[in-house]
């Protein structure tokens, strides 16, 4: 189904019944990537999946975007569907969007689940050049090594690729459905480059579960630890032996970690509503999202490389 959000046509689906759970997908990838695991979650949640602007079946404006704008799309989709607040599960770049959603629209977020993601900025741990090249090749057209999909080694653990090669190939099909247009790739790239929430993480109100594969090479596990350390009410759970796509590689284990955390938390209320001035500022900042993000990243970098100040009398 489609709906119009802030002038962009977004594709979405609703599955199951129960507490609303908004899934946010990653870099240029359509929401088809969630389809293999949705039956697990339909037992308990009404899962809402959608394609971000610039990817999949959604519209792709001929301009750049920002995490702020992508987060506003998520809030706007909830509005269109009549959902006041939801648990929000963001994976990879979707986790970046989920962070901005929790920061800018706290009243829309109950539990925040950050999967295989990063706070970005100069303090984040970077993937290896090999994994970046593999992901880029896959987005550009699904390049292959002899006898093995190149992307599999970036998304899944080496053990999973070795012991379950057929399953890895089956799962990769979902990543290739509804490939993005070139300008959508560029828009997501620049939004990701200038994502930096490190200094703002302590202001996240939502109880947060940080989930991460122990063998993730695209988003090294150090990023999960940084998120869990900086977000005030956060728990970290590692999926042992799993790669970046941990929820596909170990679906039952990942589901259990999520629902066990949720059961222990009990009922989670949404965050405190924003004031009128904060709402007005959000709308203004959204229009300048990428320049503001670039400035914030520049400030973070300057702070990191600045020489330490000497103490008086030294």
At residue 111, the pLDDT reads: 98
- Structure-block tokens of residue 130: 């090999």
Q: What is the 3-state secondary structure (H, E, C) of 17-80?
A: CCEEEEEECCCCCCHHHHCCCHHHHHCCEEEEEECCCCCCCCCCCCCCCCHHHHHHHHHHHHHH
Residue 161 covered by a domain: yes
Q: Determine the Cα angle at 222 with ends 150 and 206, to 5°.
A: 110
**pLDDT > 80? residue 134:** no
Residue 300 covered by a domain: yes
Q: Which residues contact 75 (CB under 8 A, 6 or more apart)?
A: 101, 104, 105, 108
For residue range 255-295, list pLDDT tens digits in order: 999 999 999 999 999 999 888 888 887 887 787 778 888 87
Number of structural domains the chain divides into? 1
**Higher-confidence position of 146 and 199:** 199
**pLDDT > 50? residue 143:** no
Residue 311 covered by a domain: no
In the chain, the percentage of residues whose pLDDT exceeds 70 is 89
Closest CA relative to residue 50, chosen from 103, 88, 14: 14
CATH code of 200's domain: 3.40.50.1820
At residue 137, the pLDDT reads: 56
Q: Which residues contact 160 (CB under 8 A, 6 or more apart)?
A: 167, 168, 241, 242, 243, 249
At residue 276, the pLDDT reads: 83
**Range name among 10-24, 143-157, 161-175 with the lowest pLDDT average:** 143-157
In the chain, the percentage of residues whose pLDDT exceeds 90 is 75
| Residue 135 banded pLDDT, cuts 50, 70, 90 | low
Mean pLDDT of 128-143: 55
The rounded distance, in Å, linking the Cα atoms of 295 and 4 is 30
The rounded distance, in Å, linking the Cα atoms of 65 and 142 is 25
For residue range 44-62, list pLDDT tens digits in order: 999 999 999 999 999 999 9
| Residue 19 banded pLDDT, cuts 50, 70, 90 | very high
Residue 194 covered by a domain: yes
Q: Which residues contact 37 (CB under 8 A, 6 or more apart)?
A: 247, 248, 251, 254, 255
Give me the chain's average pLDDT, please: 90
| Residue 142 banded pLDDT, cuts 50, 70, 90 | very low
**pLDDT > 70? residue 298:** yes
Strands 45-50 and 8-15: antiparallel
The rounded distance, in Å, linking the Cα atoms of 218 and 26 is 12
Q: What is the 3-state secondary structure (H, E, C) of 206-274?
A: CCEEEEEECCCCCCCCHHHHHHHHHCCCEEEEEECCCCCCHHHHCHHHHHHHHHHHHHHHCCCCCCCCC
Residue 63 covered by a domain: yes
Residue 141 covered by a domain: yes
Q: What is the pTM of this model?
A: 0.90
For residue range 302-313, list pLDDT tens digits in order: 877 766 655 555
Number of residues in the chain: 314
* Cβ(86)–Cβ(50) below 8 Å: no
Residue 137 covered by a domain: yes
Range of the domain at 248: 2-305
């Amino acid at each position: 189904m489609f709906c119009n959000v802030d002038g962009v046509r977004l594709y979405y689906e609703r599955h199951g019944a129960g507490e609303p759970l908004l899934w946010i997908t990653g870099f240029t990838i359509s929401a088809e990537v969630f389809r293999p695991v949705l039956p697990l979650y339909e037992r308990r949640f009404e899962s809402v999946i959608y394609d971000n602007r610039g990817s999949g079946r959604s519209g792709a404006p001929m301009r750049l975007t920002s995490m702020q704008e992508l987060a506003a799309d998520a809030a706007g989709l909830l509005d269109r569907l009549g959902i006041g607040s939801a648990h929000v599960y963001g994976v990879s770049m979707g986790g970046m969007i989920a962070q901005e959603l929790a920061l800018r629209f706290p009243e829309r977020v109950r539990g925040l689940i950050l999967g295989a993601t990063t706070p970005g900025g100069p303090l984040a741990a970077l993937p290896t050049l090999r994994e970046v090249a593999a992901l880029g090749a896959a987005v550009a057209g699904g390049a292959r090594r002899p006898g093995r999909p190149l992307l599999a080694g970036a998304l899944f653990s080496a053990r999973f690729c070795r012991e379950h090669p057929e399953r890895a190939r089956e799962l990769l099909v979902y990543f290739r459905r509804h490939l993005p247009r070139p300008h959508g790739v560029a828009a997501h790239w620049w939004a990701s480059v200038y994502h930096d929430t490190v200094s703002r993480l302590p202001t996240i109100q939502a109880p947060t579960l940080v989930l991460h594969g122990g063998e993730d090479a695209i988003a090294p596990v150090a990023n999960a630890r940084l998120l869990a350390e900086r977000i005030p009410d956060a728990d970290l759970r590692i999926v042992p032996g799993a790669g970046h796509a941990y929820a596909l590689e170990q679906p039952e284990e990942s589901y259990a970690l999520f629902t066990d955390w949720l059961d222990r938390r009990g009922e989670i209320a949404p965050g405190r509503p924003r004031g009128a001035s904060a709402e007005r500022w959000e709308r203004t900042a959204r229009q300048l999202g990428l320049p503001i993000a670039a400035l914030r990243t520049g400030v973070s970098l300057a702070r990191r490389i600045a020489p330490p100040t000497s103490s008086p009398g030294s």
